[in-house]
Structure 1
Amino acid sequence: MQETKRQALRQVLACGAVAVLGLGGLGGLAQAVAADGSYPAKPVTLIVPGPPGGITDQLGRLVANQMSTRYGIRVVVENRPGAGGNLATEVAARAEPDGYTLLLGTQGTMATNQYLYKGLRFDPARDFVPVHALMSSPNLLVVNRSAPFQSVKELVAYAKGHPGKLAVASAGNGTATHLAAELFQSEAGVKFVHVPYKGSAPAITDLLGGQVDLTFDYPASTLAQVQGGKLRALAVMGATRLPQLPQVPTIAEAGYPTAQSTAWIGLFFPARTPPAVVKLWEKNVAAMLHEPVSVQALERIGGMPLRLDSAQFGAYVQSERVRWKGTIERSGATVD
């Protein structure tokens, strides 16, 4: 059985090598995907655009563990936090496209940062090839438990009756929590006072203390407080209800289907990485996302498997670029 698998892998890699050679001038890269099935000959570096312990780090280490234990690919996680993920993304964009450098790409690094930061030294569409999506996590519209509204409808009515009174917290200018708030305001026809923080933790602390009125943060940051009755969730900003909060309606159910906001994370190789390597990873990640241990790990950090292959994920990321570009331009959001 093992020999059969090795033979099949050799055939796939050989086909990929031929395809790369056919592109012209890439013969050296094709050699990186040896037809004898020797890939990977060394550990693969997975660049993570966040600090140890964060959601991206936890997800990166899940990938590393699963690839190593189940698929025989050794993966080393390299944390490169800073500049909204741009530092990590630039390093990955400049890496040799030989199949040994992989990027954990986010909604920010792959879809929105190009419209928020000036002078980026990489192009997410040109410099990367999508491998497979990993996880999605919807924003939650959460308010202080003493707020005088029990539903999205009541929130909108209050905001229209008290313009400029409600303060919305975010994890910082240009973050997904900020953009979700801007999108909702645009679609609902209301205006909040934006209060940016340096991360979700201080924003949630002030929401609990009543210094701000609401936020559009993620389950990883808010679920425990909602379940403990310290905060009130008015809507899930994704397409479906959260299993952990079955009583909380989606934003579409609340009357604003175009205000959906869901963060996502996936894997990307530098452009011109041999197609056979991309295909191998695509296949393994697809299998990983059906493993119960992976699904449970994603649920623990407030996410759900996002089962989109390379082509599907590429189309989805492009649609997200178009969508968020409009929101950012209308809101005037910027980081620089």
Structure 2
Amino acid sequence: MTRPTRRSLLVAPALLPGLAAAQGFPARPITWVVPFAAGGITDTSARILAQRMSQSLNQPVVVENRPGAGGTLGAEVVARSAADGYTMLYGSQGPMAAAPAMFPNLRYDPQRDLAPVHGIGASPHLIVTPPSRPWRTLIELVAAARARPEGLTYGSVGVGTSPHLAAETLQQATGVRMVHAPYSNGTQGLNDVIGGRLDAMWDYPLTSLPHVREGRLRALAVTDTQRVALAREVPTVAEAGLPGAELVPWAGLFVPAGTPPDVIGRLAVALREAMDDPKVQEFFNGTATVLWPTVGTEQLRAFLIEEVPRIAGLIVRSGARAG
């Protein structure tokens, strides 16, 4: 993943001008749309942050799940909402970067219709497989896929989502092809890997590591340039023999374009205060997520300028499309 520069991570963003004008905001509850099903890492992360943001804003921040179409249904809801700060989006690579290249009839433009508020963080995937399969390393999995073109299967939480993009990254780095099985939520996919009905899955450490620890899954690699603190024994994809197959999912907070800058600033402050909370940090450390407390509005905007074409190129090369 092309991450925000070291300088942008070390220099805290200045508060936006006119912040004092937001003193009357919010005057009622705020809806935080999570474009994926309840129970996954995105939903859980949003709820942890929302609870702490509610304290800073003195108003409830209510998480509303709007899953479907790789996160684009929820993103569209926010894009079409009033630009007043009362509807927010938990945005990620899928609906914010992959969607324009993936969905030919997309009814929103992420860069035109949604405005960045603040970065949230980044968390790699684990590549997991059933222990019953003969491959014990990532190289052996790739060799098996090469020997059986489009014969092996892998699961993700939907077309254009970060697990799908991570799998595509590995396939493009190696030239192998596997059959993609998209699921409406990660739990269903993990159950099928555990049951041997799928050959592999790209999943978050939060949900897959407990099964690895109990022997129901085998972890082959992590999709980052560094190992996950929670599973130091699992090699990176480069250490496993496949440099160039890295992809780290990221997340950020977005609102409808046209939202007043002072309101965006108020939300950004609340999110930063949430990320400074030791209990919030403890939770995210337990999910192998690196928080982005200094990736403010402008840093996130600059990051997207590089990230969107990078992900679009990945989609175009894969030939993937959605209806």
**Structure 1 CA distance, aligned partners of 2:181 and 2:50?**
36
Which residue is 2:127 aligned to? 141
Give TM-score, length-normalised by structure 1.
0.82
Which residue is 1:321 aligned to? 308
Change (3 A) 1:43 1:223: same
**Structure 2 CA distance, aligned partners of 1:198 and 1:272?**
32
**Structure 1 CA distance, aligned partners of 2:55 and 2:96?**
29
**Do 1:135 and 1:306's aligned partners in 2 also have CA atoms closer than 8 Å?**
yes
Q: 2:234 aligns with which of 226, 244, 248?
A: 248
Shift of 1:135: 2.9
SS at match of 2:42: helix
Which residue is 1:259 aligned to? 245
**Do 1:111 and 1:318's aligned partners in 2 also have CA atoms closer than 8 Å?**
no
Offset from partner CA, 1:158-182 (integer Å, 9 cap, x none): 4334544433233343333222212
**Structure 1 CA distance, aligned partners of 2:130 and 2:37?**
29
Change (3 A) 1:84 1:170: closer
Structure 2 residue 186 is the aligned partner of structure 1 residue 183: no
Which residue is 1:219 aligned to? 205
Q: 1:210 aligns with which of 171, 182, 196?
A: 196
Change (3 A) 1:68 1:157: same
SS at match of 1:129: strand
Query: Which structure has the larger Rg over C-alpha atoms?
Result: 1
Structure 2 residue 303 is the aligned partner of structure 1 residue 309: no
Structure 2 residue 310 is the aligned partner of structure 1 residue 332: no
**Do 1:295 and 1:304's aligned partners in 2 also have CA atoms closer than 8 Å?**
no
Shift of 1:221: 3.1
SS at match of 2:123: strand
Structure 2 residue 35 is the aligned partner of structure 1 residue 49: yes
Which residue is 2:18 aligned to? 16
Q: 1:173 aligns with which of 159, 163, 181?
A: 159
SS at match of 1:52: coil
Shift of 1:40: 2.2
Q: Percent identity?
A: 42
Offset from partner CA, 1:48-107 (integer Å, 9 cap, x none): 223433333322222221012245343233332333322222221122222222222122
Q: 1:272 aligns with which of 258, 276, 280?
A: 258
One-letter code of the match for 2:291? P
**Structure 1 CA distance, aligned partners of 2:182 and 2:33?**
27
Shift of 1:298: 2.4
SS at match of 1:115: helix
Structure 2 residue 274 is the aligned partner of structure 1 residue 295: no
Q: 1:89 aligns with which of 57, 62, 75?
A: 75
Shift of 1:293: 0.8
**Do 1:136 and 1:265's aligned partners in 2 also have CA atoms closer than 8 Å?**
yes
Structure 2 residue 47 is the aligned partner of structure 1 residue 61: yes
Change (3 A) 1:197 1:76: closer
Give TM-score, length-normalised by structure 2.
0.85
Shift of 1:301: 4.7
Structure 2 residue 86 is the aligned partner of structure 1 residue 100: yes
CA RMSD, aligned part only?
2.4
Shift of 1:120: 1.7
Instruction: Extract unaligned runs of 5+ from structure 1.
Output: 1-11, 18-32
Structure 2 residue 195 is the aligned partner of structure 1 residue 193: no
Q: 2:138 aligns with which of 147, 152, 172?
A: 152
**Do 2:70 and 2:159's aligned partners in 1 also have CA atoms closer than 8 Å?**
no
Which residue is 1:282 aligned to? 268
SS at match of 1:46: strand
Change (3 A) 1:130 1:230: same
**Do 1:16 and 1:274's aligned partners in 2 also have CA atoms closer than 8 Å?**
no
Question: In terms of mean alpha carbon deviation, does 227-236 or 194-203 score higher?
Answer: 194-203
**Structure 2 CA distance, aligned partners of 1:283 and 1:225?**
37
**Do 1:236 and 1:248's aligned partners in 2 also have CA atoms closer than 8 Å?**
yes
**Do 1:169 and 1:195's aligned partners in 2 also have CA atoms closer than 8 Å?**
yes
Shift of 1:198: 4.0
**Structure 1 CA distance, aligned partners of 2:150 and 2:73?**
36
Shift of 1:286: 2.2
One-letter code of the match for 1:112? A
Change (3 A) 1:143 1:279: same
SS at match of 2:81: coil
Change (3 A) 1:214 1:271: same
One-letter code of the match for 1:49? P
